[in-house]
Amino acid sequence: MTDLDAQARAILRGNDKGGYTLPTHGLYPYQWNWDSVFAAWGFATFDNSRAWDELDTLMASQWDTGMVPHIIFHQPDPGYFPGPDVWGTGQSPATSGISQPPVAATLARLIWDMDPQAGRDRIAVLYPKFVAWHRWWHKVRCTHGPVAIIHPWESGRDNCPDWDIGMAGVDGTRVGPYTRRDTGHVNPDMRPTKEDYDRYITMVEYGRSVDWDQDRIVADGPFLMADPGITFILLRAHDDLAAIGRALGHDVSEIEGWAGALRAALPALWNDKLGAYDAKDLRTDRFAGILGSGAFLAYLADAENPALDTQLMRVWNAVTYGIPSADPESVSFNPRKYWRGPTWPVVNALLALGFKGSGRTDLAERLRSETETLIRQHGFYEYFDPLDATPCGGADFSWTAAIWLTWARHHPDTALKGAA
C-alpha cells in the first residue's frame, strides 16, 4: 500500500461519523447524497461492510414519496447555512427538500461486483428503495421528457454556466439578511457569488412556502431546467438497476420502460447550434447555449455521437488536466470557480466509466492518468484548476479519496473493474 493509499483511507475514516461520511470537515458538516455514495465506493476497497452501511444510512432518510434528499442533517451544526430550519421540510432526521444525481444504483452495482457473496443480502434490501427513488425521478422530474431540476443544487453542479439563463429569471432581491459560512472555509473567489446565493435561497424559500409539494414546484416554481447531466446519470442508473434486479430474480420491465422513455427523450436536449447536448430553461423553452461536463456524461449512458466526440476533444485538448466543467473557450469559463471551469476527479471517474464501457480504453486511460497526476501532485482536494493543477475547494475530501482508491491510482487493466 502506498502512502497515498494510506492517506486516502485515513481521510475516509477521519470523515466517518458512524454510518455516514462527511464530504469534508467544516465546509460540509452533514451527509450529502452523491458524495455519500462515492464514499461508499471508496470504503468498499478496504471495508465492504462499511460501504453498505453508508448506503443504508443514506436510504434510511428516503421520503415517503421515494425522493432521497440531497442533504441529511443528522446532527446540529450552526456553522452551516442554509441549515434545517431554512429548509423546513418536517422530516426526521431533518433533510433538504431537493434531491441530487442518482448515482447510487450504478455505484452499488460496482460495490456488489467487488464482493458478490458478501453484498447479495445487503443489495437485496436496498433494491426496492432504489426502485422507489427511480420511480420518483420518472414521475416527478421527467414530466417534460428529460430530467428537470427545480434548483441548481439538485444537479450537483451548483453554479455551472448551464443554469445562468434560468437563474436570470429568479428574483433574489427580496431575500432577508443571512450569513454564509462556505466563504469562511475556502477562498470566496472560488465560490458562487452573493447574487447567486440570493437566488438559491429564494428557491428554497419558495419550496418551503408550498410545503415542498414537488408537483407544484415543477408547475409554478421560480426555476425549472432540463439537465443533461442528471438525465445521463439516471439513464445509466436505470440500466444498472435493471441488471441488479435481474440478478436478484425480479421483474424489471418497469425499469426498462423508464430507460426506454428517457432515451427517447434525449433528442430534446440536443442543440444543433451548439453541436452538443445542452441544458434548457423549461420556463422559456430556451437552450442555455453552454457546453459543460453535463453534456459529456452522455458517454456514461452510451449516448455519444461523432459530433459530441469532436466537442469533447476540443474542450479536453484546451486544458492540461482532466475534463473541465465548462468550455474553456466560453466567456463564462473560470478555471478555479467551483463548477464554472475546474476539473473534478469525481466527474472524471464517471466519464471514464462511460469510456471504458464503450470500448474507448484510450480515453479512459488518458483521463485516469491526468487525474492521478493531480492527486499525486496536490493531494485530495475537492477539485482542481484544469490548466495549472492548482488545488481548489475543500481539502481532505472524501470523494476524491474514494476516487483514488477505486480508480485513479490503478493500472488501466484493473481500473473500474466490472464497469463494462
Q: State the catalytic residue, choosing from 154, 281, 382, 385.
A: 382
The C-alpha cell 455516514 sits at: 20
Q: Where are the beta strands (DSSP E) in 25-180?
A: 31-32, 71-73, 94-95, 148-149
Q: SS3 for 331?
A: coil
**What is the spatial distance between Cα 157 and Cα 240, in angstroms, rounded to a whole number?**
23
Half-sphere exposure of 263 (CA within 13 A, CB side): 16
Residue from 137, 139, 165, 159 nearest 282 by CA: 165
Q: What nine digits make up the cell of 284? A: 422559456
CB-based contacts of 411, cutoff 8 Å, min separation 6: none
Burial degree of 2 (CB within 10 A; 0-12, 13-18, 19+): exposed
Q: State the catalytic residue, choosing from 158, 205, 213, 256.
A: 158
CB-based contacts of 241, cutoff 8 Å, min separation 6: 105, 109, 127, 130, 131, 134, 252, 255
**What is the spatial distance between Cα 345 and Cα 272, in angstroms, rounded to a whole number?**
29
Pairing outcome for strands 31-32 and 71-73: antiparallel
**What is the spatial distance between Cα 269 and Cα 287, in angstroms, rounded to a whole number?**
8
**What is the spatial distance between Cα 195 and Cα 198, in angstroms, rounded to a whole number?**
5
Q: What nine digits make up the cell of 419? A: 464497469
CB 279 within 8 A of CB 225: yes
Round the CA-based radius of gyration of the chain to a whole number and report it.
20
Half-sphere exposure of 251 (CA within 13 A, CB side): 2
Crossing angle for the helix pair 253-264 and 228-248, nearest 10 degrees? 160
Produce one character per residue of 177-193: b if its CB has 16 or more CB atoms within 10 Å, e if not.
Answer: eeeebbbebbeeebbbe
382 as an active site residue: the answer is yes
Q: What nine digits make up the cell of 56? A: 443504508
The C-alpha cell 447567486 sits at: 196
Catalytic residues: 158, 382
